[in-house]
Chains A and B, each alone.
Chain A
Amino acid sequence: MLQEDQELDARGLNCPLPILRTKKAISLLNSGQVLKIVATDPGAVKDFEAFSKQTQNSLLEHAEIDGEFIFFIQKA
């Protein structure tokens, strides 16, 4: 798996909090750095794809492990 520069724990949070926290965390990164997000909201999968498309921050990888959703987003 990818190496992240920062990790965001979004477990237990529901829409739209995972996206809002991600936006905030990404704003603190430098261009090219990678944020790892761990979420438990199944709706997050579609939302993170949409977030990435609309903000130009690339969704490098996502996976589901033991009911948790892991996303790696690289800041544009």
Chain B
Amino acid sequence: MDEKKLAIIATKGTLDWGYPPFILASTAAALGYSVEIFFTFYGLQLLKKDLSHLRVSPLGNPAMPMPVPMPTLMMVLPGMEGLATSMMKSKMKAKGVASLDELRGLCLEAEVRMIACQMTVDLFEFDTADFIGGIELGGAAAFFEFAGESDVTLFI
């Protein structure tokens, strides 16, 4: 039986949207898939050694559950983003949800290949020294080299 392949494009750099790529990649790897994640635009934030800067914002996200109903205008007040971020982090901890750092570590351990988009690294002037080790740099063609033979491809 040929090994199955999963290709993911990770484009989001918020605390909440950082989860799906790492959850799916680590799980697929555990099921025997060979996995590659292509990080582009804000998704590049997920490659930084230190992930503590990732935030979640209630602004522009009416679906985010809040402990008490709040008018949209209040979401712009200083401190709301920090409040939402710490609320989500403590909730995740209480419910036994892994930290992003832990999930990413499990992906690396399972030999998930991670590629940083060269164009957006240059565009946003990311310093690749801030990234974790083992990251390759590449472009769209590099993504398709793997995605073209994948069984599952996801854009997140």
Taking CB atoms, residues of chain A closer than 8 Å to B31 are 51, 54-55
Which one of B39-47, B76-84, B93-101 is at the interface?
B93-101
Kindly state whether residue A63 has any CB partner on chain B within 8 Å.
no
Interface set, chain B 85-114, CB cutoff 8 A to A? 95-98, 103, 106
CA A16 – CA B22 in complex, angstroms? 10
Known: A54-B32, A55-B32. A20 touches B96 (CB 8 A): no
CA A18 – CA B147 in complex, angstroms? 28
Is B96 a contact of A12 with CB atoms below 8 Å? Answer: yes
Is B98 a contact of A23 with CB atoms below 8 Å? Answer: no
Kindly state whether residue A60 has any CB partner on chain B within 8 Å.
no
CA A65 – CA B86 in complex, angstroms? 34
Is A51 a contact of B98 with CB atoms below 8 Å? Answer: no
Is B32 a contact of A20 with CB atoms below 8 Å? Answer: no
Instruction: Assign chain B's interface to a size class.
Output: 10 to 19
Is A14 a contact of B95 with CB atoms below 8 Å? Answer: yes
CA A51 – CA B32 in complex, angstroms? 10
Is B96 a contact of A14 with CB atoms below 8 Å? Answer: yes
Taking CB atoms, residues of chain A closer than 8 Å to B132 are none
Kindly state whether residue B30 has any CB partner on chain A within 8 Å.
yes
Is B96 a contact of A41 with CB atoms below 8 Å? Answer: yes
Kindly state whether residue B26 has any CB partner on chain A within 8 Å.
yes
Taking CB atoms, residues of chain B closer than 8 Å to A41 are 96
Is A17 a contact of B96 with CB atoms below 8 Å? Answer: yes
**Chain B interface residues (CB < 8 Å from chain A):** 23, 26-27, 30-32, 95-98, 103, 106
Closest 10 CB pairs of A and B: A23-B30, A14-B96, A16-B27, A12-B96, A54-B31, A14-B97, A13-B96, A16-B23, A17-B98, A20-B30
